[in-house]
Structure 1
Amino acid sequence: MPSLRQLEYLIAIEDAAHFGRAAAEMNVTQPTLSQQVKEMELRLGSKLIDRGRPVRLTPIGREIASRARRVLRDIGEIRAIAERGKDGMAGTIRLGVSPTIGPYLMPRAVVRLHREFPSLRLYIREGIPADHFADLRNGRLDMMLAPLPVIGRDMHVQPLFDEPLQMVGAPDHRLFAKRHLQPGDFAGEPVLSLDRRHPSHGQTEQICEEMGADLLRDYEGTSLDSLRQMAGSGLGLALLPELYLRAETGGEDMVRRFEIDDWAPKRSIAAVWREGAAFASSFAVIAEIAASEAREILA
């Protein structure tokens, strides 16, 4: 049977689609990587890699790599169990967080977690929820915080809190002169959004349809800061989450929120981890502390 290290090499080649990049990722020379792959093919009696440009795994290679990911993920959890011993709130937990949540919630949550569980370490990675979900399935992450919906089998989804969304615009926008605003007053107004990889894009698109507003598809933002700045420049309106507007790193320094009668959109935030994860109880504690801090800010 191939060694665990050889299985790691195979996965690296599948991810990189290139021997040189895979070797660099694994911190070995390319000849060493190639030799190990050939030895694995001899042991298994099957060709695992099509050595073209780009490098691709054969159907058998893909199936072995898929199973190898699960094996390595389980071994990682076994190592984590041994490292943490009897105290589950210790060791390093790899946490994926959406960039529309992390900077505006995690600083407070991290302070509280470190105060209550000083042996716990958090490796926090910000990124697109869809990418984090793939890393969660492959064992590269232990848990994630993201806006709902989160769709996937074999995942535990724990709803945490609802966060209000606010429509904002440049302070001199003409609609601020109107005393009572209705959703229909925004018909035809240009609205900015993050790019379509973010869950908020679909929600903004839906809200624009309901209000009759015009979603600007040529000016998609890369962050909440970019949305705020573009809205402040008068390019369009923006739908921003309440935690961001209340954060020191966000705020309302260049935009103003619209007070709209009978209109209260929100988004729901959840924690996600693999069903049956060895430290599900620890993940639940982290999730509840994050939710508690969010509720306190929003209160």
Structure 2
Amino acid sequence: MIRTSLRQLEYFEALAETLHFGRAAALCGVTQPALSAQIAELEEVLGCRLFNRARRAVSLTEEGHILLPQATSILQAARSLESSGQRPSSMQGRFRLGLIPTIAPYLLPPLLPALRETFPAFQLELREALTPHLTGALLAGEIDAFIAALPIEERQLTATPLFVESFFLAVPASDPDFIAPPVPPDSPALERLMLLEEGHCLREQALAVCTQVKPVAMKRFGATSLTTLLQMVANGLGVTLIPQMAVPSADTIAGLKIVPFAAPAPTRAIALFQRRNGLRRDECDTLAGLIRETWKASEQAGRGVLPG
């Protein structure tokens, strides 16, 4: 009789990868005591210790190192079998997707109708939050995947690239400093750059763009949404960075002008993140493909780019 379960091997793989009981439990979506109990039961069944447990560190024993490639091979085969068996019903049921605030309002309007038309049984549940919060939610099993900007330094996650978009500069329409774009990276006007508050990845990207000037306006102004920043710009309070996907909605704001940067224009890479050993890889791959198609269609239709 086989007494070793796939669940135990999955917990073993997660602990071997993280070497931390709390993080491994979060990765598997269970409590730490439940994971510890399953690891202990696996060790009892195999008749050996798989981990050295110290007060501040966890490490694989020699037996653990021997078991790891075998466990990985078994789990890969099981996941492949499960995916094969589920293929006829893929893209059905509940899927919890997170998005950062500088992507959600601009990507969802074209994406949601495409999802409803292509996969009507796909029940998408959405969460908008900052990258650190989405990362924690994914590791805790509260969401199935999220869309954000690269890079994210978290070894328990894997990223599927979606697309790369350019940055532009939003300025007051009557601003004399921007009569002749494109904007060079050392333009004095960038000293008037206004940023989103701490925690937004767009803030860090804006600072990375403006390495040759020292923004002054950011000390006086801040906002929690790009929409608020654009309204501030339209009223002459400064300038701000805007991603390509937000350009169409920005064009509807009176008193606002969008201008390009000098080549090479700054960009950001967008990706779909999932847990490294997650079981919804097929759905994530299908969703990523649809997002790429939606973005490509948006570009070809002239949405998300400046008019020629």
TM-score between both structures, scaled by the size of structure 2: 0.67
Give the 5 Å matches for 1:35-74: 69-70=26-27, 72=29
Alpha-carbon distance change, 192 to 285 in structure 1, aligned in 2, over 3 angstroms? same
Give the drift of 1:187: 5.3
Give the drift of 1:96: 0.3
Give the drift of 1:146: 0.2
Partner of 2:64: none
Unmatched segments (≥5 aa) in structure 1: 1-62
Aligned to 2:211, the other structure's residue is in SS state helix
Partner of 2:146: 144
Please, which moves more after superposition, 172-181 or 153-162?
A: 172-181
2:118 to 116, 119, 133: 116
> What CA distance in whole angstroms lies between the structure 2 residues aligned with 1:94 and 1:241?
25
> What CA distance in whole angstroms lies between the structure 2 residues aligned with 1:203 and 1:65?
32
Question: Quick check: 1:96–1:141 contact (8 Å CA) kept in 2?
Answer: yes
> What CA distance in whole angstroms lies between the structure 2 residues aligned with 1:202 and 1:109?
26
2:225 to 203, 223, 243: 223
1:232 to 215, 231, 234: 234
Alpha-carbon distance change, 114 to 180 in structure 1, aligned in 2, over 3 angstroms? closer
> What CA distance in whole angstroms lies between the structure 2 residues aligned with 1:283 and 1:188?
38
Question: Quick check: 1:92–1:120 contact (8 Å CA) kept in 2?
Answer: yes
Give the drift of 1:296: 2.0
Alpha-carbon distance change, 286 to 251 in structure 1, aligned in 2, over 3 angstroms? farther
Partner of 1:270: 271
> What CA distance in whole angstroms lies between the structure 2 residues aligned with 1:227 and 1:73?
40
Partner of 2:287: 286
Alpha-carbon distance change, 177 to 262 in structure 1, aligned in 2, over 3 angstroms? same
1:103 to 93, 102, 105: 105
> What CA distance in whole angstroms lies between the structure 1 residues aligned with 2:157 and 2:195?
28
Alpha-carbon distance change, 202 to 71 in structure 1, aligned in 2, over 3 angstroms? closer
Partner of 1:169: 171
Give the drift of 1:97: 0.5
> What CA distance in whole angstroms lies between the structure 2 residues aligned with 1:104 and 1:216?
24
> What CA distance in whole angstroms lies between the structure 2 residues aligned with 1:181 and 1:69?
45
Alpha-carbon distance change, 192 to 69 in structure 1, aligned in 2, over 3 angstroms? same
Question: Quick check: 1:225–1:250 contact (8 Å CA) kept in 2?
Answer: no
Aligned to 1:292, the other structure's residue is in SS state helix
Question: Quick check: 2:182–2:259 contact (8 Å CA) kept in 1?
Answer: no
Aligned to 1:216, the other structure's residue is in SS state helix
User: Which amino acid letter does the alignment assign opposite residue 256 of structure 1?
Assistant: K
Alpha-carbon distance change, 242 to 181 in structure 1, aligned in 2, over 3 angstroms? closer
Unmatched segments (≥5 aa) in structure 2: 1-19, 35-78, 301-308
Give the drift of 1:143: 0.2
Aligned to 2:174, the other structure's residue is in SS state coil
Question: Quick check: 2:186–2:210 contact (8 Å CA) kept in 1?
Answer: no
Give the 5 Å matches for 1:172-251: 172-178=174-180, 181-186=183-188, 189-214=191-216, 216-247=218-249, 251=252
> What CA distance in whole angstroms lies between the structure 2 residues aligned with 1:288 and 1:164?
20
Give the drift of 1:66: 5.9
> What CA distance in whole angstroms lies between the structure 2 residues aligned with 1:162 and 1:180?
20
Question: Quick check: 1:106–1:290 contact (8 Å CA) kept in 2?
Answer: no
Alpha-carbon distance change, 251 to 264 in structure 1, aligned in 2, over 3 angstroms? farther
Alpha-carbon distance change, 256 to 268 in structure 1, aligned in 2, over 3 angstroms? same
Alpha-carbon distance change, 110 to 188 in structure 1, aligned in 2, over 3 angstroms? closer
> What CA distance in whole angstroms lies between the structure 1 residues aligned with 2:103 and 2:181?
32
Alpha-carbon distance change, 180 to 272 in structure 1, aligned in 2, over 3 angstroms? closer
Give the drift of 1:254: 3.0
Partner of 1:135: 137
Give the drift of 1:216: 0.9
Please, which moves more after superposition, 180-189 or 107-116?
A: 180-189
> What CA distance in whole angstroms lies between the structure 2 residues aligned with 1:239 and 1:192?
8
> What CA distance in whole angstroms lies between the structure 1 residues aligned with 2:24 and 2:153?
22
Please, which moves more after superposition, 253-262 or 274-283?
A: 253-262
Give the drift of 1:200: 1.0
Alpha-carbon distance change, 224 to 71 in structure 1, aligned in 2, over 3 angstroms? closer
User: How large is the Cα RMSD of the aligned pairs?
Assistant: 2.9
Give the drift of 1:186: 2.8
User: Which amino acid letter does the alignment assign opposite residue 226 of structure 1?
Assistant: T
> What CA distance in whole angstroms lies between the structure 1 residues aligned with 2:89 and 2:105?
28
Partner of 1:157: 159
Please, which moves more after superposition, 188-197 or 125-134?
A: 188-197
> What CA distance in whole angstroms lies between the structure 1 residues aligned with 2:151 and 2:106?
20
User: Which amino acid letter does the alignment assign opposite residue 274 of structure 1?
Assistant: R
